[in-house]
Amino acid sequence: MTPDVENIRWRHRIVERLQNHEAPKVFRLCLFDGKAILYSATPLDLPDGNSGNYELIVPGKGKVSVRVARVAGETVSFDDLKNFLNGKISEQTPKVAVALNLLQFIIRQAPNLKYPNNGRAYFTDVGSRDLRGGLELFRGFFQSVRPVIGKVVVNVDISSSAMYKPGPFLDLALEVIGIRGNARALNFRKHSKEWNILSQFFKNVMIDIKLPTKKTITKKIVGLVEAAGRFEFKKEQEDGSFLPTTVAEHYHKTYNIRLLFPDIIGIELSRGAGKNTVIPAEVCYVTPGQRYTRKLPQQMTSTMVDFSKFRPEKRLDMIIGNKGDRVQAPTLEYATSPYIQDAGMKISDKPILVEGQLIKPPSIFYGARQMADVNNGAWNVSRQHLHSPETIRAWAVVDYSMRLDPDVVQRFMQALEQCCTARGMQVKSKPSYKRGSGVGSIEKDIREACSQALAKAPPNYKKPPDVVLVILPPSAAEIRQDVKRTGDVILGVSTQCVREDNVAKFTGKQLDQYCNNIAIKINARLTGVNCIPSSPAYEWFKDQPFMFMGADVGHPGPGIQNKPSVASLVFSYDRHGVKYSATSRVQEPRQERISELGPMVAV
How much is the average pLDDT of 130-157? Answer: 93
Q: How many domains would you assign to the chain?
A: 3
Q: What is the pLDDT of residue 58?
A: 74
Q: Is the pLDDT higher at 59 or at 313? A: 313
The per-residue pLDDT for range 370-408, each reduced to its tens digit, is: 999 888 888 889 889 999 999 999 999 999 998 899 899
Domain boundary among the residues 284, 307, 340 is at 284
CA angle 173, 176, 177 (to 5 degrees): 95
CA distance 387 to 423: 9
Judgement on whether residues 488 and 460 belong to the same structural domain of the protein: yes
CATH number at residue 455: 3.40.50.2300
Contact 84, 93 (CB under 8 A): yes
Domain range enclosing 257: 184-284
Judgement on whether residues 517 and 571 belong to the same structural domain of the protein: no
Question: Is residue 414 included in any domain, yes or no?
Answer: yes
* Number of separate helices (H) and strands (E) present in the chain: 18, 26
Q: Is the pLDDT higher at 173 or at 241? A: 173
CA distance 63 to 556: 38
Q: What is the pLDDT of residue 326?
A: 60
Judgement on whether residues 461 and 503 belong to the same structural domain of the protein: yes
CATH number at residue 215: 2.170.260.10
The per-residue pLDDT for range 455-510, each reduced to its tens digit, is: 999 998 989 999 999 999 987 888 999 999 999 999 999 999 999 999 999 888 89
CA distances, 173 to each of 180, 275, 287, 295, 455 (Å): 10, 25, 14, 18, 51
Q: What is the pLDDT of residue 81?
A: 93
CA distance 371 to 516: 17
Judgement on whether residues 493 and 571 belong to the same structural domain of the protein: no
Question: Is residue 450 included in any domain, yes or no?
Answer: yes
Q: Considering the chain, what percentage of its residues have pLDDT values greater than 90?
A: 60
The per-residue pLDDT for range 260-296, each reduced to its tens digit, is: 999 999 999 865 555 668 999 999 999 999 999 988 8
User: Which amino acid would we find at residue 588?
Assistant: E
CA distance 394 to 347: 64
Give 498: exposed, middle or buried? Use CB within 10 Å, 0-12, 13-18, 19+: buried
pLDDT classification of 600: cutoffs 50, 70, 90: very high
Domain boundary among the residues 284, 316, 340 is at 284
The per-residue pLDDT for range 563-589, each reduced to its tens digit, is: 999 999 999 999 999 999 999 999 999
Question: Is residue 10 included in any domain, yes or no?
Answer: no
Q: Which of 574, 553, 555, 573 is nearest to 563 (CA)?
A: 555
The per-residue pLDDT for range 404-447, each reduced to its tens digit, is: 998 999 999 999 999 999 999 999 999 999 999 877 899 999 99
Judgement on whether residues 562 and 462 belong to the same structural domain of the protein: no
Give first-to-last CA distance, the chain, whole Å.
Answer: 51
User: Does 5 score more than 70 pLDDT?
Assistant: yes
Question: Is residue 581 included in any domain, yes or no?
Answer: yes
Judgement on whether residues 573 and 498 belong to the same structural domain of the protein: no
Judgement on whether residues 404 and 517 belong to the same structural domain of the protein: yes
Judgement on whether residues 421 and 519 belong to the same structural domain of the protein: yes
Q: What is the pLDDT of residue 359?
A: 85
CA distance 282 to 266: 8
How much is the average pLDDT of 170-177? Answer: 95
Judgement on whether residues 431 and 504 belong to the same structural domain of the protein: yes
pLDDT classification of 227: cutoffs 50, 70, 90: very high
CA distance 179 to 185: 8
Question: Is residue 495 included in any domain, yes or no?
Answer: yes
Q: Which of 77, 70, 30 is nearest to 47 (CA)?
A: 70
Question: Is residue 232 included in any domain, yes or no?
Answer: yes
Cis (ω within 30 of 0) for the bond into 3?
yes
Helix (H, G, I), strand (E, B) or coil at 218: strand
Does this model's pTM top 0.85? My answer is: no
Domain boundary among the residues 236, 263, 284 is at 284
183 Cβ contact partners less than 8 Å away, ≥ 6 residues apart: 170, 173, 174, 260, 261, 264, 281, 282
Q: What is the pLDDT of residue 327?
A: 64
368 Cβ contact partners less than 8 Å away, ≥ 6 residues apart: 385
10 Å Cβ neighbour count for 457?
A: 20
Q: What is the pLDDT of residue 74?
A: 76
Q: What is the pLDDT of residue 273?
A: 54
E-strand spans in 495-579?
A: 495-499, 532-534, 549-554, 565-572
Question: Is residue 74 included in any domain, yes or no?
Answer: no
Strands 31-32 and 363-365: unpaired
CA distance 372 to 423: 14
Q: What is the pLDDT of residue 250?
A: 93
CA distance 15 to 28: 11
Judgement on whether residues 402 and 505 belong to the same structural domain of the protein: yes
Contact 233, 244 (CB under 8 A): yes
How much is the average pLDDT of 2-25? Answer: 85
The per-residue pLDDT for range 517-545, each reduced to its tens digit, is: 999 999 999 999 999 999 998 889 888 99
What is the 3-class SS of 24-42, one letter each residue? Answer: HHHHCCCEECCCCCEECCC
How much is the average pLDDT of 102-125? Answer: 90
Judgement on whether residues 398 and 476 belong to the same structural domain of the protein: yes
Judgement on whether residues 413 and 446 belong to the same structural domain of the protein: yes
Question: Is residue 158 included in any domain, yes or no?
Answer: no
User: Does 49 score more than 90 pLDDT?
Assistant: no
Average pLDDT over the chain, rounded to an integer: 90
CA distance 309 to 304: 9
The one-character DSSP state at 360 is P
